[in-house]
A and B are shown apart, each in its own frame.
Chain A
Amino acid sequence: MIEVLSAGALATVQDLGRTGALNLGVGTSGAMDPLALAAGNILLRNEENAAALEIPLFPFRVRFTRPTVFAVTGADCAPQLDEAPVLPWWAHRADAGQVLALAVPSAATWRACRAYLCIAGGIDVPLVLGSRSTQLRGAFGGLEGRPLRDGDGLPIVATSDRAKTGFGITPPGLALPLEVDGLPAVRVLPAAEYDSFTPSSHEALWSEPWKITSQSDRYGYRLAGPELRPQRPMELRSHGIVPGVIQVPHGGQPIIQMRDAQPSGGYPKIGTVIDADLWRLGQAPIGSRIRFVLCSWDEALDALAATRRWLSNVRRLVELYCDQGAVR
C-alpha cells in the first residue's frame, strides 16, 4: 500500500490509456508522457501498461506501508527517500514506513514538468473498459475516478519480486531529442482543413514558436502565437477527434487536444501532432515554447517505430542485466 501524505493537485492514477472506447464517447486518458510510464515499468520488470501515479504539481509526498521497489521517471523532481537524495530514472527499494518526497522539477538538462511514480507490480485499481487510467470527465477509472487526495491509500499488485534495484536508464528526452532553433519540437501531419487556411497561416504554423498558455491541462493545450486564419469562415458539424489534433477556433489561437480530450469536436483542424511525439508535448511546461515540424505519413510511422525500438532495446538490456548481472 502507498499512503498519500501530500497530494499536490491533479495527481492521478494512469496507465497507457483506454483505447478502443471512442465509439462509446469515452476518451483515451492515460499518461501524458507514455514513454516515461512505459520505460519506468520496463525498469521495474512490469508490463509496460502497469498503472503508475502521474504527478503534475509539487511538492508531492507518499509513505510506503511495506517494502516496495519503485522508480521515479519523467521530470527530475530531486526525489528524496526519508530526506536522503535518491536518483531519478533509477530502481530503488523503500523500507516499510519510508517517505518519498518529490520537489518542483529542475531543468538542468531536460525541461519537463510531469513525474511518474512507478511501482513494481503496479498500482492496483479496478480495470474499467480495459484500463486503470483515471477518466476525470466521466469520473471513473483510477482511484474513484478522481485526482488523489491527502490520506488516500493505493493498493499495489502483489509481485513475484522480479525487480532488481541499484541501476537506472537514460531518459528518452535525452536519448531521442527533437529541437528546432533550440526549442522542443513535435512533428505534425496536416489535417483535413489544412488547405482551407491562408498561406501566411501555413507559414506561421511551421516557422513561429508557439507558447503553451496557462489555460493548458490534460484536456488540451491552448497556444499563443500568430493568428491562424481560414481563407473563408468555416462551420463544421461535430466529428471524431483524437489526442494530438490541433484545432483552430474563431480567435485564431490553436488548441491541441490532449489525453483527456473529449472524442468529438467541431473546430477546423489545421494539423495533428503525431502519436510518437505526444510524450514530448506532455512534458512541455506551461509558459514554455514549442515548434511544429511538418511530417509525412511515412515519417510519422517511422517515428513510432523508432520509439518502439528504443523501448524494446531498454527491455532487452534491463532483462539481460537483471538475469545475468552483465551486459554485452
Chain B
Amino acid sequence: MTNPLNHVDQLCAFLAATDIGLLELKGPAGVLRLRHDGARVEVEMIEAAAAALISPPTQVIRAPVPGIYLDRHPLRSQPSVAVGTEVAAGTPLAFLQIGPLLLPVPAPEDGLVAEKFAEHGATVGYGAPLIGLQPHGSDAE
C-alpha cells in the first residue's frame, strides 16, 4: 500500500472540492489530520510517539452525519446537558436534525461534559467537533 503521506497535496485537493470538514488518517507512523474550513485546508501531522504523549484526556465527540446541530430537544427550552454534567454512556447529549428526522449525539462512555464546540442551530459537516467528554478514569491516572 502506498503511504498517504506521499499524497497529502492530492488529498488536500480532494478535500477542498467537498463539503467534508475533517479527514483523519491513523497509521503506525502517527495521525494525519486535514481540516477544511470551506476556504483552505490545514494539514497537521502527529507522530505516533507524540500522539501517545499528547493523547488528550478529553474525548471529542464528532458529528456522525451532516445536519443541524441542536443542543436541546426542539420541545425543550434548556440544553440537554450543561458543561460540567456527569453523563452515563448512551445518554443523548445533543441532536442532529436532518429534515424532520432527529438523531441523537450519544455519550460514547460514562464521563463529564467538558466542552461544547458547536452553536445551537448551526449546520455542521461530517466529523465536525461537537462536544468534549472527559471519560471517567482519565483523571484517575
Contact residues of A with B, CB < 8 Å? 76, 87-90, 108-110, 166-171, 174-175, 310, 313-314, 317-318, 321, 326-327
- Contact flag A108-B75 (CB < 8 Å), given A326-B65, A327-B65: yes
Q: Which residues of A have CB within 8 Å of B102?
A: 89-90, 167-170
Taking residues whose C-beta sits less than 8 angstroms from the other chain, chain B's interface range is 10 to 19
B74 touches A109 (CB 8 A): yes
CA distance A177 to B102 in the complex (A): 18
CA distance A76 to B72 in the complex (A): 14
A109-B75, A169-B100, A170-B101 known, 20 other contacts, Cβ within 8 Å: A87-B73, A88-B73, A89-B102, A108-B75, A108-B76, A109-B74, A167-B101, A168-B73, A168-B102, A169-B102, A170-B74, A170-B100, A170-B102, A171-B75, A174-B74, A313-B99, A314-B101, A317-B98, A317-B100, A317-B101
Interface bits B100-135 vs A (CB < 8 Å: 1, else 0): 111110100000000000000000000000000000
Q: Which residues of B have CB within 8 Å of A174?
A: 74-75
* Pairs A-B, 10 closest by C-beta atoms: A108-B77, A168-B102, A76-B75, A317-B101, A314-B100, A327-B98, A170-B100, A169-B100, A174-B74, A167-B103
CA distance A95 to B100 in the complex (A): 28
Is B30's beta carbon under 8 Å from chain A? no
Q: Which residues of A have CB within 8 Å of B98?
A: 317, 327
Q: Which residue of B lies closest to A311 (CB)?
A: B100
Q: Which residue of A lies closest to B65 (CB)?
A: A327
CA distance A326 to B101 in the complex (A): 11
What are 23 A-B residue pairs whose CB atoms fall within 8 Å in the complex? A87-B73, A88-B75, A89-B73, A89-B75, A108-B75, A108-B76, A110-B75, A166-B106, A167-B101, A167-B104, A168-B101, A169-B100, A169-B101, A171-B75, A174-B74, A310-B100, A313-B100, A314-B101, A317-B99, A321-B101, A327-B65, A327-B98, A327-B101
Q: Which residues of A have CB within 8 Å of B65?
A: 326-327
CA distance A317 to B106 in the complex (A): 20
CA distance A327 to B65 in the complex (A): 8
Q: Which residues of B have CB within 8 Å of A175?
A: 100
CA distance A167 to B73 in the complex (A): 11
Contact residues of B with A, CB < 8 Å? 65, 73-77, 92, 97-104, 106
CA distance A89 to B104 in the complex (A): 12
CA distance A195 to B99 in the complex (A): 42
CA distance A101 to B14 in the complex (A): 52
Q: Per a CB cutoff under 8 Å, which of A166, A171, A313 touches B104?
A: A166
Q: Which residues of A have CB within 8 Å of B101?
A: 167-170, 314, 317-318, 321, 327
CA distance A169 to B98 in the complex (A): 9
Q: Which residues of A have CB within 8 Å of B106?
A: 166
Pick the most buried of B74, B98, B99, B103: most chain A CB atoms within 10 A of its CB: B74
CA distance A90 to B102 in the complex (A): 8
Pick the most buried of B73, B75, B76, B97: most chain A CB atoms within 10 A of its CB: B75
B92 touches A109 (CB 8 A): no
Q: Give the shortest distance, in Å, between A261 (CB) and chain B (any CB).
A: 30
Q: Which residues of A have CB within 8 Å of B77?
A: 108-109
Q: Which residues of A have CB within 8 Å of B99?
A: 313, 317
Q: Which residues of B have CB within 8 Å of A169?
A: 100-102
B74 touches A171 (CB 8 A): yes
CA distance A146 to B59 in the complex (A): 54
Q: Which residues of A have CB within 8 Å of B97?
A: 170
CA distance A43 to B90 in the complex (A): 20
Q: Give the shortest distance, in Å, between B112 (CB) and chain A (any CB).
A: 20
CA distance A168 to B106 in the complex (A): 13
Q: Which residue of A lies closest to B67 (CB)?
A: A327
Q: Which residues of B have CB within 8 Å of A90?
A: 102
CA distance A87 to B90 in the complex (A): 13
Q: Which residue of A lies closest to B75 (CB)?
A: A76
